[in-house]
Structure 1
Amino acid sequence: MIVKTGPILGVTGAVMGLAYGLFGAGVGPAYSHDMAHSLPALTADSAQPAQHDKNDDQDNNAETVRMLTLLGTVMDVVHSEYVEPIKDKKLINNALQGMVGNLDPHSSYMDPQQLKDMQDEMSGQFGGLGLQVQADSGHVRVVSPIDDTPAARAGIQPGDVITMVDNKSIADLTLDQSVRKMRGKPGTKIVLTILRPKTGKTQTLTLAREIIHTQIVRSALYGRTAYIRLTEFDDALEHDMRKAYEKLVKDVAKTPGKTLNGLVLDLRSNPGGKLDQAIAVSRDFIRDGEIVSIRGRHPENNQHWDGKNTDITHGLPIVVLTNAGSASASEIVSGALKDHHRAIIMGERTFGKGSVQTILPIGDQGAIRLTTARYYTPSGRSIQGLGITPDIAVQATRDDDSAFTYHESDLAHVLTNIGSSETKETLRHDLPEGAKKIDRLPPQKWPAFDPKKPETDFQLQQALRLVTLMTAAPQTQGTQK
């Protein structure tokens, strides 16, 4: 069994994750027993003592029998009257997928082949385009492209809708079928037709499939400021991040008398992944107090995790960059750092995926990817459907994309937000004086963004500027609550 927080179906590079195995779901490697969610056994002791409850049970049982009879009747009719012969196995698989898939956007039934595909893609290398995608009301929508992949280099953006593959509509296909069409032998060409909601225009892109090698940690040194980008939360993430940070500490020390003045942690377009890695990363910066808690249907399975008296930066200022593609595990880290006032969150509101999925194998018949819990930030807030609001809102471009930004709340069958101590985030009143000097929009003539040229990344440049301002005028923000 594997427990992941992460989103979203990944395409070829993506994972069929949210609705079918991310990390797929986009998205990280092999099965592990991160956290067991045991299913409570039904015993005679669980019978309800009250006569009223027994009547309710009898009514429910009678209704269940009627509905199962109806299911059998429909199968018989379809089997005998459909325009062409169809096997019962296909009908039953369709019923299973609908039964689980219509619960919420992140639950799904996986037949043995789909389960194998997910396991292959979670190995960390997969052939395809490098897309994280999600089923959305019959459409295939991009959650985020993976860095330095054919999809990212072609300019595909979060929120784009894939309408055609090789000039053929995929409107009538399931997400799994659409993903399979996008897979193929490395080096082969594929034509995608993309609808961009914020412009209302379509464009046709020709891409070459590749073996997707996911570099989960990228780092750089900008002056005395450490920059670390996390692209997804797989098994090795925290280890690799710590290694990258230690190298930056050594790099800056090569100049006599110089030390790091702060850290920019870039979680933009990071769709999530392993819950244990989100906790481990948070513990690298938060010494004391709760990191995250999860609450499910059965109280005995509720859990919470605290800091372990560790801060690898020793209290340096931290700025976290987020956008609408920052989901799940990314939101756990952002929420923990924000609630503890350990970092300033900058950029755009996050995706809003506040649920935990558990993969439950069902013998040799595949598995169920089932939403089993909601998670809560240290303040007791569920971000399900809401996301994390930045402390300092900074847009990537001058265009106001807010009306076209894609979030969890836009999905069909979205899970409700319940159990929060509050639904609205408390405004920060302890931001450093330098926060007032941060520009929210790029200048009129700001150059077009080029991922190979950090100087064109407006949000990054503002984050670096804020770290410098915080260093020049120390505030209480860096202390732990």
Structure 2
Amino acid sequence: MPKISKILLLAVSVVLVVTVFLGVNSSGVSAATEPQDGAYRQINVYSEVLRHIQTDYVEEPNINAVTNGALRGLLESLDADSSYLTADDYKAYKADKGGKAQVGINVSKRFGYATVVSVTPGSPADKSNLSDGDIIEAINGRDTRDISLAMIQLLLEGQPGTELTLSVVRPRKSAPDKIIMTRVSPALPPVTETMYENASILYMKPGIVDHDHVQQIEIKLKGMSKAGNKKILLDLRDVAAGDMPEATRLANFFLKDGTIAILEGQKVEKQTFTAEASKSINTTAPVVVLVNRGTAGPAELVAAALLDNKRADLVGEKTFGEGAQQKTFELPDGAALILSIAKYESPSGKKIQDDGVTPGVLVASNNDEAAVAEDDTTTASENKPPLQKPSVTVDEQLTKALDLLKNKAA
């Protein structure tokens, strides 16, 4: 292919993505706004950069690789959930029916790499001592910098019994650990329930904010008076999966009125989710919610709603920051964009995706203390098992939450 044709191919690819991003469709371009004019002017800059890459780079570049990398970077510069999928990736993405075996980690992208958001208790990842904040440098030898989040999630899945090899960069470690895990069929435990202070405090921890687990919480809340419970401790630490409608329903259990969340985007009409008194269960019992860096998505929506409505005290760490609605746009060449088109906001107007949720009572996690205790110069060989986490006898975040509840009048 002549050089001028290759340059045009790159330019057309970038123009195509920018066009889709700006909402231009086959019916024609509407009156240009100032932001659109600025974006179109940038196309001249892109073309000039591409020309220099093609003509002046040390060797003739791989046009497909350069184009794919540019488009992937363009989407990921927006947020972690926006992705560019090549035609081959999108074909595999569409063919995936879900329900495959996993190793028990929720991931996102931070600093260009796949990052562990939370770990399912008792899962292969938990047994390998993975924890939130660990960076996954490679999956089965593939650098996660070169893979979109959608494909990273796909690569983590597989048939039960198959092996998954991760290269993991841990805090305060100079070299990555090679970790081999066996995929297992996902098992979601029921909501954990514990009684504290002579059964006056009902502690609940859902592993996921989905219909079944929210239903379990509903039953437990309705049975509080019979059990003698007067106060509630909701543990949302490392809860990163579920769906937003169920999160709204869960928050409504504790609120008789007020705003739960807001959803809004450039082309998505503003939606305000409001608590309904008929759907509330317990709007008077003192509530404390535990959160940490592994609290993400639906769990963040619940925490933000209860915090902003002054319905609960939050204890722990600032949450991860995940709360956007995506839409898939198919491209003419078989590729696709997964684009965030709207973001959830807390009642006070903060975008959860951008700001996360900061508790009023900050308490560091035990994982942080364990990491400080590790020898910074220690490296793990491929034949060496992962370092074991020190046994922790005191959960400082839980202790603080219980102390707060003890001092609240029922």
Partner of 1:227: 203
Verify the 8 A CA contact 2:82 2:326 in the aligned structure 1: no
TM-score by length of 1: 0.62
3-state SS of paired residue (1:279): helix
- Write the mapping of 1:103-142 to structure 2, written as runs, cut at 5 A: 103-111=78-86, 114-115=89-90, 123=98, 125-142=99-116
TM-score normalized by the length of structure 2: 0.72
2:129 corresponds to which residue?
155
Aligned residue runs from structure 1 range 149-188, under 5 A: 149-163=123-137, 168=141, 170=143, 173-175=146-148, 182-188=156-162
Which residues in structure 2 correspond to 1:265-276 (within 5 Å)? 265-276=234-245
Take 1:316 and 1:385, find their aligned partners in 2: how far apart are those partners?
31
Percent of aligned pairs with the same amino acid: 25
- Equivalent in 93, 96, 119 of residue 145 of structure 1: 119
Q: What is the correspondence of 1:226-245 to structure 2 with a 5 Å cutoff?
A: 226-233=202-209, 237-245=210-218
Contact 2:206 2:213 in 1 (8 A): no
Aligned residue type for 1:305:
F
Task: Give 2:31's match in structure 1, choosing from 31, 44, 47.
Answer: 47
Counting helix residues as a fraction of each chain, which structure ranks higher?
2
Q: Which residues in structure 2 correspond to 1:38-77 (within 5 Å)?
A: 46-47=30-31, 64=43, 66=44
Report what 2:315 is aligned to: 346
- Tell me, what secondary structure is at the counterpart of 1:126? coil
Q: Which amino acid aligns with 1:208?
A: T
Deviations 1:21-65 (A, max 9, x none): xxxxxxxxxxxxxxxxxx6979789436xxxx89x988976764x
- Asked if 1 retains the 8 angstrom alpha-carbon contact of 2:191 and 2:213, the reply is no
Change (3 A) 1:198 1:115: same
CA distance in 1, matches of 2:45, 2:214: 52
Measured after TM superposition, the shift of residue 388 of structure 1 is: 1.9
Q: Relative to 1, partners in 2 of residues 1:69 and 1:160: Cα closer, same or farther, differing over 3 Å?
A: closer
Determine if the alignment matches structure 1 residue 208 to structure 2 residue 182: yes
Bigger drift between 218-227 and 458-467 goes to 458-467
SS at match of 1:373: strand
- Paired residues of 2:113 and 2:137 also in contact (CA < 8 A): yes
Aligned to 1:197: 171
Q: Is 2:273 aligned against 1:305?
A: yes
Pairwise CA distance, 1:312: 1.6
Task: Give the aligned residue type for 2:296.
Answer: A
Give me the CA root mean square deviation: 4.3
CA drift at 1:104: 2.6
Post-superposition shift, 1:358?
Answer: 1.8
Letter in 2 for 1:128: Q
Distance 1:287 1:270 in 2: 24
Change beyond 3 A, Cα 1:184–1:399: closer
Q: Which residue of 1 aligns with 2:391?
A: 448
Alignment-mate amino acid for residue 97 of structure 1 = R
The equivalent residue for 1:337 is: 306
State the one-letter code of the partner of 2:80: P
- 2:107–2:114 contact (8 Å) kept in structure 1: yes
- CA deviations 1:228-266 (Å, max 9, x no partner) are 323334xxx24532334414654883xxxx422222222
Is the CA contact 2:84–2:148 (under 8 Å) kept in the aligned structure 1?
Answer: no
Paired residue total: 366
Compared with structure 1, are the counterparts of its residues 385 and 315 closer, same or farther at alpha carbon in structure 2 (3 Å cutoff)?
Answer: same
| Separation in structure 1 between the aligned mates of residue 37 and residue 230 of structure 2, nearest angstrom | 67
Q: Which runs of 5+ in 2 are unaligned?
A: 1-22, 373-389
Which residue in 2 is equivalent to 1:421? none
Q: Distance in 2 between matches of 1:171 and 1:242?
A: 37
Mapped contact 1:267–1:320 kept (Cα < 8 A): yes
Deviation at 1:296, TM superposition (A): 2.3
Q: What amino acid maps onto 1:359 in structure 2?
A: K
Q: Which of 73, 80, 96 is residue 98 of structure 1 equivalent to?
A: 73
Q: CA deviation at 1:459?
A: 2.6
Among residues 364, 368, 381, which one is paired with 1:395 in the alignment?
A: 364
Change (3 A) 1:136 1:462: closer
Conservation of the 8 A alpha-carbon contact between 2:327 and 2:339: yes
Which amino acid letter does the alignment assign opposite residue 231 of structure 1?
G
Q: Which residue of 1 aligns with 2:327?
A: 359
Q: Which residue of 1 aligns with 2:3?
A: none
